[in-house]
Structure formats: C-alpha cells, structure tokens
Amino acid sequence: MQLYFIRHGQSINNALWERTGSNSGRKMDPDLTETGLKQAELLAQFLNRPVPEIDPAAKDFQNRAGFNLTHIYTSLMLRAVATGMVIAELLDLPLIAWRDLHESGGLFLEDESTGELVGQPGPNLAYFEQKYPRLVHKIPLGDEGWWNMSFEPVEERPLRARRVLDELITRHGGSQDSVAFISHGGIYNYFLMAVLGLSSKEGFWFLMNNTAISRIDFFEDRVILVYQNKTDHLPDDMIT
C-alpha cells in the first residue's frame, strides 16, 4: 500500500495568520481562499498528469509514472472537503469522509471573555448533501452538526492518530492500493509520529505546506517514508 498524506489548500485562517500573525478573527471552519482553490486545482492536475513511459522494473519513488490513486479519504473540515472535491472530480473517484482525519482540536472558537476554547457543532448532513453530493459518508453526520463536541485536548490527539493508522492498515494493509488522505498539518504530525514510533512529547515537528504531499509506503516487514512535504506542483509564488 502507498499512502499519500496531503494537506488542504490555503484556508481563510491560514491567510489571516500569514497576514497578521494572529488568530484574532479566525473562523470556526474556514473555507479555501482563491489561492487555496488554485493550489487544489494544480494539485489535482499533478495527481492526474499523463504517465510517461518508464522502465516497469524501476523503483518509482518519485511517482514519475503517476500516482494511480484508488481511494481518496477526507477530513470533514470544509477546507479539506473542498480540496478533496477538486481532486475527486478530476480523477472521477468517490471522496470518502473519514471523521478522525480532522485537524487537532476539532471545531472550536475562543470565548473572548474567558479564553476558553469552545467546541462548535459544525456543518450538518443537509449541508454536505447539498454542497458536496459526491462526498461519501458512512458515519452519522446528524442534523446538529458532525462535530458537536468539546475542544479536543492535546493528550487525545496521539491516540486518534494511532487509531487512524490502525484503521488504515485494517482497510488497506497488504494490498496494492494507492490511498490519499486529504487532511491537516497538525494531525499529520501526530500520524507520522505514530508511523515512526516517536513520542509527541519529544518536540518533533514535520512541516507541511498547503497541498503538499507526503508519501509513506507500507510493506509487510517495513515502512518507508519516501518523501515528505512535496510541492512540485506549485510555482514558487503559490507556496504557502
């Protein structure tokens, strides 16, 4: 199995931070900016680019022969769904919701009077069915919103990342599947630490730019981090 962990395109909150260095005015569940949408389009074209003729015996660790994705999973956060939808439509694949791929903390806003991070309901089933009919969900989204929980504490994030890794192996381990996760930079770090057997308490951080790709190959006897934070599909002025 090959896993391509892909961060979403630039969100409104990403742009706010780049512009101000502050989270003041952040949105609970931001959509993509115009730049983020263009990044997603360039990413989709890169994943779907024509396949050149290469030696079939060669080890294609840079995807010169393409990606040949078989499954696309997405976080239910809007910036990830919007990014995944562009890819899924171009590749004509279903976009499959995976709740645990959400960003660290979940959906929340800060109470300005107390500083408390308060969980928010998020979009509900009707919203997703109307705006993203290609989205496949086998999880209850509900009428009250798919999140509808408290802020996710830090100590729960490594456990969730381990849960995602275990479920990925259950679904695709030992196969020739080529799987894409459309997700987020924070949970990517917890996920990669779970893959590498590292502790989240040791101060590691793995950079992921918007729409960057990290490839991890899973074999029966080993796991190979083939590359991480690949942005070959973006011109220099669109790397955010």
What is the 3-state secondary structure of the chain? CEEEEEECCCEHHHHHHHHHCCCCCCCCCCCECHHHHHHHHHHHHHHCCCCCCCCCCCCCCCCCCCCCCCEEEECCCHHHHHHHHHHHHHHCCCEEECHHHCCCCCCEEECCCCCCEEECCCCCHHHHHHHCCCEECCCCCCCCCCCCCCCCCHHHHHHHHHHHHHHHHHHHCCCCCEEEEEECHHHHHHHHHHHHCCCHHHCCCCCCCCCCEEEEEECCCCEEEEEEEECCCCCHHHCC
Residues 6+ apart with CB under 8 A from 206: 188, 189, 192, 214, 228, 229
Q: Tens-of-pLDDT digits for all 240 residues of the chain?
A: 999 999 999 999 999 888 888 777 789 999 999 999 999 999 999 999 877 766 666 788 999 889 999 999 999 999 999 999 999 999 999 999 999 999 999 999 988 889 899 999 999 989 999 999 889 987 777 788 999 899 999 999 999 999 999 999 999 999 999 999 999 999 999 999 999 999 877 888 999 999 999 999 999 999 999 999 999 999 999 999
Has domain 2-51+63-238 been given CATH number 3.40.50.1240?
yes
